């Protein structure tokens, strides 16, 4: 019926249609896009490029950083507030829109859209794409239209068919480009980007971090009143998060977390210029390194040193950087240099990302940041429950 009515709509003047579309797809992996290209999809687009996400690679802080917005209150929507000394938010907070979504021309604007994406993933993801096309062709007097789709991330978390999604996306974008060209006589610029990839661990094992900390005398709490209390939020399904505890307990908690089988990397803020990096390869095999930051002529510079075992696997990159002359006399380099020499590394652009994660990713930065192994996951709340309900 909608298609039948379309011919009665007054055409939008060519000069009134947008010239550019920014399509923000949550959680689409670079590898999935490359595989789609090999199937002949997205032939109208330039070859895709990798985007290095934040650390931790979490949507809320990543999208705010991508669009240059004021940092969110926490790493996730249920978060620890230093001012209130409390974990703020409830079960519905995790599926409530925040600033980066509210600034979009189209994004999920109700709690049930987000939750529904995890319960009926394919219908929601498909409808988002269809709505994108209709909205662009119906928008007037806007140079750029910004669209955000949560659907693909939900598909990843609920074992959905991402290939099917990308095929549908390509078909609808091809249709959009054709219809736009017919109506305007010009090409529409479409920029597609994502905030983070995906570990493809469809059967990832749940990481019992609360129980593991409890075995060493630490308890999870919503506020920190004693030295053995820790506060953190994993209000969805994630592989990275921040941990808060009493200052005198930070080193101990970080060390315990680093030794857990589910944990890949742990970083600790010693002060605003020094951050330790820990990574266990096995029982008693601790890799240890440090990231340092200093400001030179109004610009942050970063140094990485491996004290034992090269936890970030960047020693060879540092040697190349030194040979290229991009390190200063003390071993510091700019963010752009770290991008140039480490974008393809196992832990890309790690020093600037670690500092950003500990200092400015949120308004309540954590003294401890944790990255989980790809074969594990952590998650609480409604989104996590929906994930576990999927077959």
The pLDDT averaged over each successive group of 10 residues in the chain (391 residues) is 37 78 95 96 95 93 94 93 94 76 80 72 92 94 94 82 96 98 95 86 76 95 97 77 97 96 96 97 85 95 97 98 98 98 96 98 98 80 49 43
* Token duo for residue 335: 């963010």
Question: Residues 246, 287: one domain?
Answer: yes
What is the CA 339 to chain-centroid distance, rounded? 18
Assess whether 183 and 272 both reside in one domain. no
Looking at the domain assignment, is residue 93 inside a domain? no
DSSP string for residues in 298-361: TEEEEEEEEEES-TTS-HHHHHHHHHHT-S-TTS-EEHHHHHHHHTTSSSTTHHHHHHHHHHTS
Mark whether 185 and 210 lie in a shared domain: no
Domain endpoint, select from 194, 229, 264: 194
How far is the first Cα of the chain from the last one, in angstroms, to the nearest whole number?
34
Domain assignment of residue 244, given as a range: 205-389
Same domain (yes/no): 317, 254: yes
CA distance 133 to 177: 9
Is residue 163 domain-shared with residue 239, that is, in the same domain? no
* Collapsed DSSP state (helix, strand, coil) of residue 311: coil
Instruction: Say yes or no: 48 and 156 in one domain.
Output: yes
**Predicted TM-score (pTM) of this structure:** 0.89
Query: Is it true that the peptide bond before 56 is cis, omega within 30 degrees of 0?
Result: yes
**Same domain flag for 160 and 291:** no
**Residue 246 Cα distances to 45, 162, 218, angstroms:** 50, 42, 11
pLDDT of residue 91: 72
Radius of gyration of the chain measured on its C-alpha atoms: 22
Task: Give the integer Cα–Cα distance in Å for 300 and 354.
Answer: 13
Regarding whether 284 and 183 lie in a shared domain, the answer is no
* Same domain as 166, residue 54: yes
Q: What is the per-residue pLDDT for 281?
A: 81
The DSSP code sequence of 239-299 is SEEEEEE-GGGHHHHHHHHHTSTTEEEEEEEEETTEEEEEEEEETTEEEEEEEEEEEETTE
Angle between helices 335-342 and 350-359 (to 10 degrees): 130
| Residue 92, domain member (yes or no) | no
Taking the C-alpha atoms of 225, 230, 231 and 236 in order, what is their torsion angle to the nearest 10 degrees?
-160
Question: Is 77 a member of any domain?
Answer: no
As for how many domains the chain has, the answer is: 2
Any domain includes 305: yes
Backbone torsion region of residue 201, taken as left when φ is above 0, otherwise alpha when ψ lies between -120 and 50, otherwise beta: beta
**Both 285 and 156 in a single domain?**
no
Decide: 20 and 191 in contact? Cβ < 8 Å: yes
The residue from 145, 169, 194 where one domain ends is 194
Considering the domain architecture, whether residues 178 and 307 belong to the same structural domain is answered as no
Q: How far apart are CA 98 and CA 96, in angstroms?
A: 7
Structural domain contains residue 324: yes
Domain boundary among the residues 159, 194, 229 is at 194
> What does the pLDDT read at residue 7?
38
Burial classification of residue 100, based on how many CB atoms lie within 10 Å of its CB (0-12 exposed, 13-18 middle, 19 or more buried): buried
């Amino acid at each position: 019926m909608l298609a039948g009515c379309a011919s009665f709509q007054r055409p939008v003047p060519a000069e009134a249609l947008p010239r550019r579309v920014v399509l923000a797809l949550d959680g689409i992996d670079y590898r999935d896009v490359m595989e789609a290209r090999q199937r002949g999809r997205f032939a109208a687009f330039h070859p895709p490029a990798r985007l290095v996400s934040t650390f931790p690679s979490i949507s809320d802080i990543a999208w705010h950083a991508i669009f240059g917005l004021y940092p969110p209150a926490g790493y996730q929507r249920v978060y620890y507030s230093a001012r209130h000394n409390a974990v703020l938010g409830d079960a519905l907070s995790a599926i409530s829109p925040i600033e980066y979504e509210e600034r979009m021309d189209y994004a999920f604007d109700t709690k049930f859209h987000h939750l529904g994406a995890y319960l009926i993933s394919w219908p929601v993801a498909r409808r988002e794409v269809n709505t994108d096309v209709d909205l662009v062709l119906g928008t007037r007097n806007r140079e750029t239209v910004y669209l955000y789709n949560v659907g693909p991330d939900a598909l990843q978390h609920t074992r959905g068919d991402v290939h099917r999604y990308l095929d549908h996306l390509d078909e609808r974008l091809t249709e959009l480009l054709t219809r736009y060209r017919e109506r305007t006589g010009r090409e529409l610029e479409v920029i597609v980007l994502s905030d983070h990839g995906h570990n493809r661990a469809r059967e990832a094992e749940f990481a019992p971090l609360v129980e593991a900390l409890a075995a060493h005398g630490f308890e999870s709490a919503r506020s920190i009143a004693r030295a053995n209390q820790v506060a953190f939020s994993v209000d969805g399904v994630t592989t990275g998060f921040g941990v808060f505890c009493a200052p005198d307990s930070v080193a101990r908690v970080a060390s315990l977390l680093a030794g857990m089988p589910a944990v890949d990397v742990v970083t600790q803020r010693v002060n605003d210029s020094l951050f330790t990096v820990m990574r266990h390869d096995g029982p008693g095999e601790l890799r240890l390194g440090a990231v340092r930051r200093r400001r030179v002529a109004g610009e942050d510079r970063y140094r990485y040193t491996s004290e034992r075992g090269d936890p970030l696997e960047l020693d060879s990159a540092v040697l190349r950087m030194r040979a290229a002359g991009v390190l200063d006399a003390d071993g510091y380099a700019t963010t752009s240099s770290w991008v140039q020499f480490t974008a393809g590394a196992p832990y890309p652009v790690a020093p600037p990302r670690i500092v950003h994660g500990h200092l400015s990713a949120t308004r309540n930065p954590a003294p401890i940041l944790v990255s989980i192994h790809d074969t594990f996951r952590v998650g609480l709340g409604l989104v996590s429950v929906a994930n576990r309900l999927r077959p």
